[in-house]
Protein backbone atom coordinates (compact mmCIF):
# COMPACT_ATOMS: atom_id res chain seq x y z
CA UNK A 1 0.00 0.00 0.00
CA UNK A 2 1.55 3.34 -1.00
CA UNK A 3 1.85 6.13 1.51
CA UNK A 4 -0.43 8.31 -0.58
CA UNK A 5 -3.09 5.64 0.09
CA UNK A 6 -2.25 5.34 3.76
CA UNK A 7 -2.07 9.00 4.64
CA UNK A 8 -5.40 10.01 3.19
CA UNK A 9 -7.20 13.13 4.34
CA UNK A 10 -9.35 11.16 6.75
CA UNK A 11 -6.44 9.48 8.53
CA UNK A 12 -4.64 12.79 8.91
CA UNK A 13 -7.82 14.40 10.19
CA UNK A 14 -8.30 11.76 12.89
CA UNK A 15 -4.60 12.03 13.76
CA UNK A 16 -4.72 15.79 14.15
CA UNK A 17 -8.25 16.09 15.57
CA UNK A 18 -8.81 12.87 17.43
CA UNK A 19 -12.45 12.20 18.37
CA UNK A 20 -13.14 10.90 21.89
CA UNK A 21 -9.71 11.90 23.10
CA UNK A 22 -9.48 12.04 26.88
CA UNK A 23 -10.21 10.10 30.04
CA UNK A 24 -13.29 8.89 31.90
CA UNK A 25 -13.52 9.28 35.67
CA UNK A 26 -13.83 5.87 37.33
CA UNK A 27 -14.30 3.90 34.12
CA UNK A 28 -15.54 0.31 34.12
CA UNK A 29 -12.65 -0.60 31.89
CA UNK A 30 -9.23 1.08 31.86
CA UNK A 31 -6.51 -0.51 29.81
CA UNK A 32 -3.10 0.66 28.70
CA UNK A 33 -0.47 -0.84 26.45
CA UNK A 34 2.54 0.18 24.44
CA UNK A 35 4.41 -1.20 21.51
CA UNK A 36 7.90 -2.01 22.83
CA UNK A 37 9.40 -1.79 19.36
CA UNK A 38 8.40 1.78 18.64
CA UNK A 39 7.19 3.16 21.96
CA UNK A 40 3.66 3.98 20.79
CA UNK A 41 1.37 4.29 23.81
CA UNK A 42 -2.36 3.93 24.16
CA UNK A 43 -4.84 4.00 27.02
CA UNK A 44 -8.57 3.31 26.60
CA UNK A 45 -11.40 3.93 29.05
CA UNK A 46 -14.90 2.49 28.69
CA UNK A 47 -18.14 2.58 30.59
CA UNK A 48 -20.60 -0.25 30.05
CA UNK A 49 -24.28 0.31 30.87
CA UNK A 50 -27.23 -1.97 30.06
CA UNK A 51 -24.92 -4.13 27.98
CA UNK A 52 -23.94 -1.22 25.78
CA UNK A 53 -20.83 0.94 25.45
CA UNK A 54 -22.14 4.04 27.22
CA UNK A 55 -18.90 5.98 26.92
CA UNK A 56 -15.41 5.48 25.51
CA UNK A 57 -12.30 7.65 25.46
CA UNK A 58 -8.64 7.21 24.65
CA UNK A 59 -5.31 8.94 25.18
CA UNK A 60 -2.01 8.12 23.59
CA UNK A 61 1.13 9.05 21.76
CA UNK A 62 2.21 7.61 18.49
CA UNK A 63 2.08 7.60 14.75
CA UNK A 64 -0.84 8.72 12.60
CA UNK A 65 -1.91 5.13 11.96
CA UNK A 66 -2.05 4.11 15.63
CA UNK A 67 -3.76 7.28 16.80
CA UNK A 68 -6.29 7.47 13.96
CA UNK A 69 -7.02 3.80 14.43
CA UNK A 70 -7.74 4.31 18.14
CA UNK A 71 -9.96 7.31 17.53
CA UNK A 72 -11.92 5.58 14.78
CA UNK A 73 -12.31 2.51 16.96
CA UNK A 74 -13.89 4.58 19.74
CA UNK A 75 -16.42 5.95 17.26
CA UNK A 76 -17.11 2.48 15.96
CA UNK A 77 -18.00 1.04 19.35
CA UNK A 78 -19.70 3.96 21.10
CA UNK A 79 -23.34 3.01 21.79
CA UNK A 80 -22.86 -0.50 20.42
CA UNK A 81 -23.90 -3.71 22.16
CA UNK A 82 -21.30 -5.29 24.39
CA UNK A 83 -21.65 -8.52 22.35
CA UNK A 84 -20.68 -6.65 19.16
CA UNK A 85 -17.55 -5.26 20.79
CA UNK A 86 -16.55 -8.70 22.03
CA UNK A 87 -16.71 -10.04 18.48
CA UNK A 88 -14.74 -7.27 16.72
CA UNK A 89 -11.97 -8.66 14.52
CA UNK A 90 -8.78 -7.41 13.02
CA UNK A 91 -10.46 -7.22 9.62
CA UNK A 92 -13.20 -5.00 11.06
CA UNK A 93 -10.56 -2.53 12.22
CA UNK A 94 -8.63 -2.51 8.97
CA UNK A 95 -11.87 -2.13 6.97
CA UNK A 96 -12.91 0.71 9.18
CA UNK A 97 -9.57 2.44 8.59
CA UNK A 98 -9.57 1.63 4.90
CA UNK A 99 -6.07 0.24 5.31
CA UNK A 100 -5.11 -3.05 3.74
CA UNK A 101 -1.78 -4.67 2.88
CA UNK A 102 0.13 -2.77 5.52
CA UNK A 103 3.59 -4.22 6.09
CA UNK A 104 4.20 -6.37 9.16
CA UNK A 105 5.73 -3.48 11.13
CA UNK A 106 2.96 -0.99 10.45
CA UNK A 107 0.06 -3.38 10.92
CA UNK A 108 0.99 -3.45 14.60
CA UNK A 109 0.33 0.29 14.72
CA UNK A 110 -3.10 -0.17 13.21
CA UNK A 111 -4.03 -2.95 15.61
CA UNK A 112 -2.65 -1.57 18.88
CA UNK A 113 -6.06 -0.07 19.72
CA UNK A 114 -7.85 -3.37 19.19
CA UNK A 115 -5.27 -5.13 21.33
CA UNK A 116 -5.82 -2.63 24.15
CA UNK A 117 -9.59 -2.96 23.84
CA UNK A 118 -9.49 -6.75 23.92
CA UNK A 119 -7.18 -6.84 26.95
CA UNK A 120 -9.52 -4.41 28.69
CA UNK A 121 -12.52 -6.60 27.91
CA UNK A 122 -10.67 -9.62 29.20
CA UNK A 123 -9.97 -8.06 32.59
CA UNK A 124 -13.53 -6.74 32.79
CA UNK A 125 -15.04 -10.14 32.04
CA UNK A 126 -12.82 -11.88 34.57
CA UNK A 127 -12.76 -9.35 37.40
CA UNK A 128 -16.21 -7.78 37.22
CA UNK A 129 -18.46 -10.29 35.45
CA UNK A 130 -16.59 -13.43 36.58
CA UNK A 131 -17.22 -14.79 33.11
CA UNK A 132 -13.96 -16.61 32.50
CA UNK A 133 -15.40 -18.60 29.61
CA UNK A 134 -16.04 -15.49 27.49
CA UNK A 135 -12.76 -14.00 28.65
CA UNK A 136 -10.82 -17.05 27.53
CA UNK A 137 -12.55 -16.93 24.19
CA UNK A 138 -11.44 -13.33 23.71
CA UNK A 139 -7.94 -14.17 24.73
CA UNK A 140 -7.83 -17.00 22.25
CA UNK A 141 -9.27 -14.92 19.42
CA UNK A 142 -6.88 -12.05 19.98
CA UNK A 143 -3.75 -14.15 20.38
CA UNK A 144 -2.99 -13.69 16.71
CA UNK A 145 -3.26 -9.92 16.87
CA UNK A 146 0.40 -9.25 17.30
CA UNK B 1 29.98 11.70 -6.42
CA UNK B 2 32.51 12.22 -3.67
CA UNK B 3 33.72 14.39 -0.91
CA UNK B 4 37.27 15.54 -1.30
CA UNK B 5 38.55 12.92 1.10
CA UNK B 6 37.87 9.46 -0.19
CA UNK B 7 37.13 7.82 -3.50
CA UNK B 8 33.55 6.83 -2.95
CA UNK B 9 33.08 5.21 -6.32
CA UNK B 10 35.72 2.59 -5.52
CA UNK B 11 34.36 2.09 -2.06
CA UNK B 12 30.78 1.63 -3.21
CA UNK B 13 31.91 -1.04 -5.65
CA UNK B 14 33.10 -3.11 -2.72
CA UNK B 15 29.59 -3.24 -1.22
CA UNK B 16 27.42 -5.58 -3.29
CA UNK B 17 24.26 -4.65 -1.38
CA UNK B 18 24.49 -1.02 -2.49
CA UNK B 19 23.72 -2.16 -6.02
CA UNK B 20 20.33 -3.56 -5.14
CA UNK B 21 17.04 -1.82 -5.73
CA UNK B 22 14.31 -1.53 -3.14
CA UNK B 23 10.59 -1.09 -3.77
CA UNK B 24 11.13 -2.50 -7.25
CA UNK B 25 13.22 0.24 -8.85
CA UNK B 26 14.55 2.62 -6.22
CA UNK B 27 18.29 2.63 -5.60
CA UNK B 28 18.97 1.89 -1.93
CA UNK B 29 19.97 4.91 0.14
CA UNK B 30 21.21 3.34 3.33
CA UNK B 31 21.18 5.89 6.16
CA UNK B 32 20.78 3.49 9.08
CA UNK B 33 24.46 3.01 9.80
CA UNK B 34 24.24 3.77 13.50
CA UNK B 35 22.12 0.62 13.81
CA UNK B 36 24.42 -1.53 11.70
CA UNK B 37 26.63 -0.90 8.69
CA UNK B 38 26.80 -2.79 5.40
CA UNK B 39 29.62 -5.25 4.77
CA UNK B 40 32.23 -5.03 2.02
CA UNK B 41 32.89 -8.05 -0.17
CA UNK B 42 36.26 -8.52 1.58
CA UNK B 43 34.49 -9.27 4.87
CA UNK B 44 31.94 -11.56 3.26
CA UNK B 45 34.72 -13.47 1.49
CA UNK B 46 36.85 -13.80 4.61
CA UNK B 47 33.94 -15.48 6.36
CA UNK B 48 33.10 -17.83 3.51
CA UNK B 49 36.78 -18.60 2.99
CA UNK B 50 36.97 -19.86 6.57
CA UNK B 51 33.95 -22.12 6.09
CA UNK B 52 35.10 -23.27 2.67
CA UNK B 53 38.73 -23.92 3.43
CA UNK B 54 39.73 -24.19 7.08
CA UNK B 55 36.61 -24.53 9.21
CA UNK B 56 37.65 -26.03 12.51
CA UNK B 57 37.48 -25.42 16.23
CA UNK B 58 40.30 -23.42 17.72
CA UNK B 59 42.89 -23.60 20.49
CA UNK B 60 42.77 -27.32 21.29
CA UNK B 61 43.25 -29.57 18.30
CA UNK B 62 46.68 -30.01 16.75
CA UNK B 63 45.67 -30.65 13.15
CA UNK B 64 46.42 -28.23 10.35
CA UNK B 65 42.93 -26.80 9.95
CA UNK B 66 42.75 -26.01 13.66
CA UNK B 67 46.09 -24.32 13.51
CA UNK B 68 45.08 -22.14 10.59
CA UNK B 69 41.80 -21.21 12.26
CA UNK B 70 43.50 -20.43 15.56
CA UNK B 71 46.07 -18.23 13.83
CA UNK B 72 43.38 -16.31 11.94
CA UNK B 73 41.25 -15.88 15.05
CA UNK B 74 44.17 -14.63 17.12
CA UNK B 75 45.34 -12.36 14.31
CA UNK B 76 42.12 -10.40 14.72
CA UNK B 77 43.01 -9.79 18.34
CA UNK B 78 46.33 -8.29 17.30
CA UNK B 79 44.67 -6.09 14.71
CA UNK B 80 42.20 -4.79 17.27
CA UNK B 81 45.01 -4.05 19.72
CA UNK B 82 46.63 -1.91 17.05
CA UNK B 83 43.38 -0.33 15.89
CA UNK B 84 42.51 1.06 19.32
CA UNK B 85 46.16 1.35 20.39
CA UNK B 86 46.42 -0.90 23.40
CA UNK B 87 49.67 -2.49 24.55
CA UNK B 88 48.54 -5.91 25.75
CA UNK B 89 46.69 -8.18 23.36
CA UNK B 90 45.49 -10.34 26.27
CA UNK B 91 43.39 -7.42 27.48
CA UNK B 92 41.13 -7.86 24.48
CA UNK B 93 38.17 -10.14 25.15
CA UNK B 94 35.89 -11.28 22.36
CA UNK B 95 32.21 -11.03 23.23
CA UNK B 96 28.96 -10.90 21.24
CA UNK B 97 28.77 -7.14 21.17
CA UNK B 98 28.77 -3.95 23.20
CA UNK B 99 25.76 -5.11 25.16
CA UNK B 100 27.46 -8.27 26.32
CA UNK B 101 30.68 -6.40 27.11
CA UNK B 102 28.91 -3.98 29.45
CA UNK B 103 26.94 -6.78 31.08
CA UNK B 104 30.18 -8.66 31.61
CA UNK B 105 31.67 -5.71 33.48
CA UNK B 106 28.52 -5.06 35.51
CA UNK B 107 28.44 -8.73 36.49
CA UNK B 108 32.05 -9.74 36.88
CA UNK B 109 33.50 -6.46 38.17
CA UNK B 110 30.37 -4.82 39.51
CA UNK B 111 29.26 -7.56 41.86
CA UNK B 112 32.65 -7.63 43.52
CA UNK B 113 33.15 -3.91 43.77
CA UNK B 114 29.78 -2.21 44.17
CA UNK B 115 28.26 -2.17 47.64
CA UNK B 116 25.26 -0.71 49.40
CA UNK B 117 24.95 3.08 49.01
CA UNK B 118 27.73 3.26 46.43
CA UNK B 119 26.99 5.42 43.38
CA UNK B 120 27.14 4.33 39.75
CA UNK B 121 27.11 7.25 37.31
CA UNK B 122 25.90 7.10 33.74
CA UNK B 123 24.45 9.77 31.42
CA UNK B 124 21.11 10.82 30.00
CA UNK B 125 22.24 10.02 26.47
CA UNK B 126 23.10 6.38 26.98
CA UNK B 127 21.86 3.46 24.95
CA UNK B 128 19.74 1.10 27.08
CA UNK B 129 22.69 -1.30 27.11
CA UNK B 130 24.63 1.18 29.26
CA UNK B 131 21.71 1.77 31.63
CA UNK B 132 19.90 -1.49 32.27
CA UNK B 133 22.91 -3.59 33.41
CA UNK B 134 23.71 -0.86 35.97
CA UNK B 135 20.10 -0.70 37.12
CA UNK B 136 20.14 -4.45 37.72
CA UNK B 137 23.40 -4.17 39.62
CA UNK B 138 22.23 -1.17 41.68
CA UNK B 139 19.01 -2.98 42.63
CA UNK B 140 20.88 -6.09 43.64
CA UNK B 141 23.40 -4.22 45.78
CA UNK B 142 21.27 -1.38 47.13
CA UNK B 143 23.49 1.07 45.27
CA UNK B 144 22.36 4.28 43.56
CA UNK B 145 22.34 5.08 39.86
CA UNK B 146 22.83 8.74 38.94
CA UNK B 147 22.76 10.53 35.58
CA UNK B 148 24.93 13.24 34.09
CA UNK B 149 22.43 15.54 32.39
CA UNK B 150 22.40 16.75 28.78
CA UNK B 151 22.27 20.48 27.98
CA UNK B 152 20.21 22.10 25.22
CA UNK B 153 23.10 21.80 22.81
CA UNK B 154 23.11 18.02 23.32
CA UNK B 155 26.28 17.98 25.41
CA UNK B 156 26.91 16.50 28.85
CA UNK B 157 26.76 18.81 31.86
CA UNK B 158 30.03 17.96 33.54
CA UNK B 159 29.15 19.95 36.67
CA UNK B 160 26.79 17.09 37.46
CA UNK B 161 29.71 14.68 37.37
CA UNK B 162 31.70 16.87 39.75
CA UNK B 163 28.82 16.98 42.21
CA UNK B 164 28.55 13.18 42.25
CA UNK B 165 32.31 12.72 42.53
CA UNK B 166 32.43 15.04 45.54
CA UNK B 167 30.19 12.68 47.53
CA UNK B 168 33.11 10.23 47.58
CA UNK B 169 30.68 7.39 46.92
CA UNK B 170 31.08 6.99 43.17
CA UNK B 171 32.67 3.68 42.15
CA UNK B 172 32.28 3.76 38.38
CA UNK B 173 31.29 6.23 35.67
CA UNK B 174 29.95 4.69 32.44
CA UNK B 175 29.31 6.77 29.33
CA UNK B 176 29.33 6.54 25.56
CA UNK B 177 32.03 8.24 23.55
CA UNK B 178 29.47 9.21 20.94
CA UNK B 179 25.71 9.43 21.39
CA UNK B 180 23.80 7.14 19.04
CA UNK B 181 20.96 9.68 18.86
CA UNK B 182 22.50 13.16 19.05
CA UNK B 183 25.83 12.28 17.52
CA UNK B 184 27.52 14.26 20.30
CA UNK B 185 31.16 13.37 20.77
CA UNK B 186 31.77 13.16 24.49
CA UNK B 187 34.65 15.04 26.04
CA UNK B 188 35.95 11.68 27.22
CA UNK B 189 39.46 12.63 28.21
CA UNK B 190 38.15 15.34 30.50
CA UNK B 191 35.73 12.93 32.18
CA UNK B 192 38.45 10.32 32.66
CA UNK B 193 40.74 12.97 34.14
CA UNK B 194 38.15 14.09 36.65
CA UNK B 195 37.32 10.50 37.61
CA UNK B 196 41.00 9.59 38.08
CA UNK B 197 41.39 12.44 40.55
CA UNK B 198 38.92 10.57 42.76
CA UNK B 199 40.18 7.08 41.97
CA UNK B 200 36.91 6.26 40.20
CA UNK B 201 36.74 3.59 37.47
CA UNK B 202 35.57 4.54 33.98
CA UNK B 203 33.76 2.44 31.39
CA UNK B 204 33.43 3.85 27.88
CA UNK B 205 30.86 2.61 25.37
CA UNK B 206 32.65 2.95 22.04
CA UNK B 207 29.90 1.41 19.90
CA UNK B 208 29.43 4.64 17.94
CA UNK B 209 32.91 6.12 18.25
CA UNK B 210 35.30 3.36 17.17
CA UNK B 211 33.63 2.99 13.75
CA UNK B 212 33.93 6.70 12.97
CA UNK B 213 36.80 8.25 14.91
CA UNK B 214 40.39 7.43 15.62
CA UNK B 215 40.36 6.00 19.14
CA UNK B 216 43.53 5.75 21.20
CA UNK B 217 43.00 3.89 24.45
CA UNK B 218 46.47 4.61 25.79
CA UNK B 219 45.74 8.28 25.53
CA UNK B 220 42.21 7.89 26.83
CA UNK B 221 43.35 5.88 29.88
CA UNK B 222 39.93 4.55 30.84
CA UNK B 223 39.45 1.20 32.63
CA UNK B 224 36.89 -0.58 30.44
CA UNK B 225 36.02 -0.06 26.79
CA UNK B 226 33.35 -1.79 24.67
CA UNK B 227 32.39 -1.84 20.99
CA UNK B 228 30.68 -3.94 18.30
CA UNK B 229 32.06 -5.21 14.98
CA UNK B 230 28.78 -4.93 13.10
CA UNK B 231 28.73 -1.14 13.34
CA UNK B 232 32.12 -0.90 11.58
CA UNK B 233 31.75 -3.05 8.45
CA UNK B 234 32.19 -6.28 10.40
CA UNK B 235 29.79 -9.16 11.01
CA UNK B 236 27.11 -9.35 13.69
CA UNK B 237 27.77 -11.41 16.79
CA UNK B 238 31.27 -10.09 17.51
CA UNK B 239 32.22 -7.40 19.95
CA UNK B 240 35.14 -6.42 22.09
CA UNK B 241 35.62 -5.75 25.74
CA UNK B 242 38.95 -4.20 26.53
CA UNK B 243 39.92 -3.79 30.16
CA UNK B 244 43.10 -3.18 32.12
CA UNK B 245 44.93 -6.37 32.98
CA UNK B 246 44.92 -5.80 36.75
CA UNK B 247 41.16 -5.52 36.66
CA UNK B 248 40.62 -8.57 34.47
CA UNK B 249 42.87 -10.59 36.73
CA UNK B 250 40.87 -9.70 39.82
CA UNK B 251 37.51 -10.23 38.19
CA UNK B 252 35.57 -13.48 38.45
CA UNK B 253 34.69 -15.23 35.18
CA UNK B 254 31.42 -14.32 33.49
CA UNK B 255 30.64 -17.70 31.94
CA UNK B 256 31.99 -21.02 33.04
CA UNK B 257 32.80 -23.83 30.63
CA UNK B 258 35.38 -25.00 28.15
CA UNK B 259 38.39 -22.91 27.16
CA UNK B 260 38.24 -20.64 30.20
CA UNK B 261 39.77 -23.19 32.56
CA UNK B 262 43.26 -24.29 33.44
CA UNK B 263 42.35 -27.35 35.47
CA UNK B 264 38.95 -28.69 36.39
CA UNK B 265 38.50 -31.03 39.33
CA UNK B 266 35.29 -32.26 40.85
CA UNK B 267 34.80 -29.34 43.21
CA UNK B 268 37.37 -26.84 42.13
CA UNK B 269 38.60 -25.17 38.99
CA UNK B 270 41.49 -22.87 38.23
CA UNK B 271 41.10 -20.24 35.55
CA UNK B 272 42.89 -20.02 32.27
CA UNK B 273 45.11 -17.02 31.50
CA UNK B 274 43.75 -13.85 30.00
CA UNK B 275 41.98 -13.39 27.70
CA UNK B 276 40.68 -16.98 27.66
CA UNK B 277 39.37 -16.78 31.22
CA UNK B 278 36.55 -14.68 29.75
CA UNK B 279 36.02 -16.60 26.52
CA UNK B 280 34.17 -19.71 27.61
CA UNK B 281 32.95 -22.16 25.00
CA UNK B 282 33.49 -22.19 21.24
CA UNK B 283 33.56 -18.55 20.19
CA UNK B 284 32.19 -16.99 17.03
CA UNK B 285 35.26 -18.01 15.05
CA UNK B 286 34.05 -17.19 11.53
CA UNK B 287 32.88 -13.72 12.42
CA UNK B 288 35.95 -12.84 14.46
CA UNK B 289 37.97 -13.76 11.36
CA UNK B 290 35.62 -11.66 9.21
CA UNK B 291 36.12 -8.74 11.56
CA UNK B 292 39.83 -8.64 10.70
CA UNK B 293 38.92 -7.92 7.07
CA UNK B 294 36.75 -5.01 8.24
CA UNK B 295 39.64 -3.58 10.25
CA UNK B 296 41.94 -3.93 7.23
CA UNK B 297 39.37 -2.14 5.12
CA UNK B 298 39.11 0.79 7.51
CA UNK B 299 42.89 0.93 7.93
CA UNK B 300 43.30 1.12 4.18
CA UNK B 301 41.07 4.15 4.01
CA UNK B 302 42.43 5.63 7.22
CA UNK B 303 40.28 6.66 10.15
CA UNK B 304 41.22 10.32 9.67
CA UNK B 305 39.78 10.16 6.16
CA UNK B 306 36.67 8.41 7.41
CA UNK B 307 36.13 11.20 9.91
CA UNK B 308 36.76 13.97 7.38
CA UNK B 309 34.36 12.42 4.89
CA UNK B 310 31.64 12.12 7.48
CA UNK B 311 32.16 15.65 8.75
CA UNK B 312 31.79 17.03 5.25
CA UNK B 313 28.69 14.95 4.58
CA UNK B 314 27.16 15.85 7.93
CA UNK B 315 27.77 19.54 7.38
CA UNK B 316 26.19 19.30 3.93
CA UNK B 317 23.16 17.46 5.32
CA UNK B 318 22.73 19.80 8.29
CA UNK B 319 22.84 22.84 6.00
CA UNK B 320 20.18 21.38 3.72
CA UNK B 321 18.01 20.05 6.53
CA UNK B 322 18.00 23.32 8.43
CA UNK B 323 16.48 25.00 5.39
CA UNK B 324 13.37 22.81 5.62
CA UNK B 325 10.61 24.72 7.33
CA UNK B 326 9.21 23.00 10.40
CA UNK B 327 12.21 20.78 11.06
CA UNK B 328 13.67 20.38 14.54
CA UNK B 329 17.27 19.16 14.61
CA UNK B 330 18.76 17.67 17.78
CA UNK B 331 22.39 17.66 18.89
CA UNK B 332 25.35 20.03 18.54
CA UNK B 333 25.30 22.49 15.63
CA UNK B 334 29.07 22.38 15.26
CA UNK B 335 30.15 19.36 13.18
CA UNK B 336 33.47 19.26 15.00
CA UNK B 337 31.53 18.23 18.10
CA UNK B 338 29.44 15.53 16.48
CA UNK B 339 29.55 12.44 14.34
CA UNK B 340 27.48 11.58 11.28
CA UNK B 341 24.27 10.91 13.16
CA UNK B 342 21.37 13.34 12.70
CA UNK B 343 18.17 13.07 14.71
CA UNK B 344 15.23 15.27 13.83
CA UNK B 345 11.49 15.75 13.81
CA UNK B 346 9.54 17.26 10.95
CA UNK B 347 6.39 19.16 11.87
CA UNK B 348 3.80 16.88 13.43
CA UNK B 349 4.76 13.93 11.24
CA UNK B 350 5.45 11.04 13.57
CA UNK B 351 8.87 9.47 12.87
CA UNK B 352 7.29 6.11 12.00
CA UNK B 353 5.10 7.72 9.41
CA UNK B 354 8.05 9.65 8.05
CA UNK B 355 10.20 6.52 7.83
CA UNK B 356 7.39 4.69 6.02
CA UNK B 357 7.01 7.48 3.48
CA UNK B 358 10.67 7.94 2.65
CA UNK B 359 11.24 4.18 2.57
CA UNK B 360 9.12 4.27 -0.57
CA UNK B 361 11.84 6.37 -2.13
CA UNK B 362 14.43 3.76 -1.21
CA UNK B 363 15.72 5.56 1.87
CA UNK B 364 16.43 3.53 4.99
CA UNK B 365 16.45 5.59 8.17
CA UNK B 366 15.60 4.70 11.75
CA UNK B 367 12.61 6.00 13.63
CA UNK B 368 11.64 5.55 17.26
CA UNK B 369 13.41 5.90 20.58
CA UNK B 370 16.71 4.34 19.38
CA UNK B 371 17.05 2.38 22.63
CA UNK B 372 17.49 5.71 24.42
CA UNK B 373 14.21 6.35 26.19
CA UNK B 374 15.88 8.29 29.00
CA UNK B 375 17.13 10.76 26.37
CA UNK B 376 13.71 10.88 24.68
CA UNK B 377 12.26 11.96 28.03
CA UNK B 378 14.95 14.62 28.36
CA UNK B 379 14.18 15.92 24.84
CA UNK B 380 10.48 15.71 25.70
CA UNK B 381 9.62 13.70 22.59
CA UNK B 382 8.40 10.14 22.23
CA UNK B 383 10.51 9.45 19.17
CA UNK B 384 12.82 10.97 16.56
CA UNK B 385 13.85 10.15 13.03
CA UNK B 386 17.54 9.41 12.61
CA UNK B 387 19.75 9.44 9.54
CA UNK B 388 23.29 8.15 10.05
CA UNK B 389 26.12 8.04 7.54
CA UNK B 390 29.17 5.99 6.71
CA UNK B 391 32.01 5.86 4.25
CA UNK B 392 29.87 4.87 1.26
CA UNK B 393 27.26 7.60 1.56
CA UNK B 394 27.24 10.54 -0.84
CA UNK B 395 25.95 14.08 -1.14
CA UNK B 396 23.72 12.91 -3.98
CA UNK B 397 22.06 10.53 -1.54
CA UNK B 398 21.54 13.40 0.86
CA UNK B 399 19.80 15.28 -1.99
CA UNK B 400 17.47 12.32 -2.58
CA UNK B 401 16.74 12.27 1.14
CA UNK B 402 15.92 16.00 1.22
CA UNK B 403 13.56 15.66 -1.75
CA UNK B 404 11.85 12.77 -0.05
CA UNK B 405 11.37 14.75 3.16
CA UNK B 406 9.69 17.46 1.13
CA UNK B 407 7.40 14.86 -0.40
CA UNK B 408 6.46 13.71 3.12
CA UNK B 409 5.63 17.30 4.02
CA UNK B 410 3.34 17.53 1.01
CA UNK B 411 1.59 14.27 1.89
CA UNK B 412 1.00 15.59 5.38
CA UNK B 413 -0.12 18.94 3.95
CA UNK B 414 2.54 20.88 5.84
C1 LIG C 1 25.93 3.77 21.83
C2 LIG C 1 25.55 2.33 21.71
N3 LIG C 1 25.81 1.50 22.71
C4 LIG C 1 25.50 0.20 22.64
C5 LIG C 1 24.89 -0.34 21.54
C6 LIG C 1 24.55 -1.81 21.56
O7 LIG C 1 25.34 -2.49 20.67
P8 LIG C 1 25.05 -4.03 20.34
O9 LIG C 1 23.60 -4.11 19.99
O10 LIG C 1 25.94 -4.33 19.19
O11 LIG C 1 25.37 -4.82 21.56
C12 LIG C 1 24.59 0.49 20.48
C13 LIG C 1 23.94 -0.02 19.26
O14 LIG C 1 22.81 -0.31 19.10
C15 LIG C 1 24.91 1.86 20.56
O16 LIG C 1 24.63 2.70 19.56
Closest to B412 (Cβ–Cβ): which among A12, A40, A65?
A12
Q: Which domain holds residue B234?
A: 45-299
Are the beta carbons of B150 and B156 closer than 8 angstroms? yes
State the helix-helix crossing angle for B41-49 and B285-301, rounded to 10 degrees.
150
Tens-digit pLDDT profile for residues B245-268: 999 999 999 888 888 888 899 898
What pLDDT is attached to residue A111?
93
Question: What is the number of structural domains in chain A?
Answer: 1
Q: How far is A97 from chain B (nearest CA, A)?
A: 16
Span A34-52, average pLDDT: 88
**In this complex, do A3 and B357 lie within 8 Å of one another by their Cβ atoms?**
yes
Q: What ipTM does the predicted assembly reach?
A: 0.91
Q: Is residue B376 pLDDT above 90, yes or no?
A: yes
Q: Is residue A142 pLDDT above 80, yes or no?
A: no
Same domain, yes or no: B220 and B284:
yes
Report the distance separating Cα A137 and Cα A126, nearest Å.
12
Report the distance separating Cα B3 and Cα B343, nearest Å.
22
Q: Which residues face B123 on adjacent strands? A: B148
Same domain, yes or no: B13 and B59:
no
The answer to whether residue B347 neighbours chain A at the CB level (below 8 Å) is no
Active site (catalytic) residues of B: 371
What pLDDT is attached to residue B400?
98
Q: Is residue B1 pLDDT above 70, yes or no?
A: no
Residue B389 lies in a domain: yes
Question: What is the number of structural domains in chain B?
Answer: 2
Tens-digit pLDDT profile for residues B110-123: 999 999 999 999 99
Q: Residue by residue, what is the 3-state secondary structure of B241-294?
A: EEECHHHHHHCCCCCCCCCCEEEECCCCEEECCCCHHHCCCCCCHHHHHHHHHH
Same domain, yes or no: B267 and B256:
yes
Tens-digit pLDDT profile for residues B286-306: 999 999 999 999 999 999 999
User: At B3, is the pLDDT very low, low, confident or very high (cuts 50, 70, 90)?
Assistant: low
What pLDDT is attached to residue B4?
65
Average pLDDT across chain B, whole number: 96
Same domain, yes or no: B403 and B279:
no
Q: CATH code at B125?
A: 3.40.640.10
**In this complex, do A6 and B356 lie within 8 Å of one another by their Cβ atoms?**
yes
The answer to whether residue B23 neighbours chain A at the CB level (below 8 Å) is no
Report the distance separating Cα A14 and Cα A110, nearest Å.
13
Q: Is residue B403 pLDDT above 90, yes or no?
A: yes
Closest alpha carbon to B33 in B377, B393, B327, B333: B393
What pLDDT is attached to residue B208?
98
What pLDDT is attached to residue A105?
83
Strand A29-34, strand A41-49: pairing:
antiparallel
Domain end call among B235, B269, B299: B299
Span B129-134, average pLDDT: 98
Domain end call among B244, B270, B299: B299
What pLDDT is attached to residue A39?
74
Q: CATH code at A78?
A: 3.90.1010.10
User: At B2, is the pLDDT very low, low, confident or very high (cuts 50, 70, 90)?
Assistant: low
Q: CATH code at B335?
A: 3.90.1150.10
Q: Which domain holds residue A126?
A: 3-142
* C-beta neighbour count of B60 within 10 angstroms: 10
Same domain, yes or no: B117 and B160:
yes
Same domain, yes or no: B175 and B189:
yes
Same domain, yes or no: B82 and B200:
yes
Tens-digit pLDDT profile for residues A84-122: 998 999 999 999 999 988 888 889 899 999 999 999 999
**In this complex, do A41 and B373 lie within 8 Å of one another by their Cβ atoms?**
no
Q: Is residue B135 pLDDT above 90, yes or no?
A: yes
Residue B374 lies in a domain: yes
Residue B68 lies in a domain: yes
Residue B230 lies in a domain: yes
Same domain, yes or no: B135 and B186:
yes
Q: Which residue is closest to B366 within chain A, CA to CA? A: A38
Terminal-residue alpha carbon distance, chain B: 31
Report the distance separating Cα A105 and Cα B352, nearest Å.
10
Q: Which residue is closest to B368 within chain A, CA to CA? A: A38
Same domain, yes or no: B108 and B255:
yes
Amino acid sequence: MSSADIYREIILDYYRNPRNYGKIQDPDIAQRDSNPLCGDELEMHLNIKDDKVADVKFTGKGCAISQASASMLTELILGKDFEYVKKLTKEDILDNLGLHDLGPARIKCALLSLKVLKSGLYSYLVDKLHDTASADKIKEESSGLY
Amino acid sequence: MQTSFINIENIRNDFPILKRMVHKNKPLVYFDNAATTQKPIQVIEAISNYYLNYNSNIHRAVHELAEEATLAYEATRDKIAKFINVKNREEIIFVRGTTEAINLVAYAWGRQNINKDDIIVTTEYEHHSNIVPWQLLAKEKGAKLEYIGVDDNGELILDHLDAYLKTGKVKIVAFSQMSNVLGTITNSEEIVKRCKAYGVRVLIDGAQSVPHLKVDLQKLDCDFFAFSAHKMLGPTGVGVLWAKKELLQEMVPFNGGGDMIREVHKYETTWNDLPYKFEAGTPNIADVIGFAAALDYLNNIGMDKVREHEMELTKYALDKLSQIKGIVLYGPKDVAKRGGVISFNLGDIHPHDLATIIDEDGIAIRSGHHCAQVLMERLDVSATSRASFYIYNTKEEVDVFIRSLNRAKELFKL
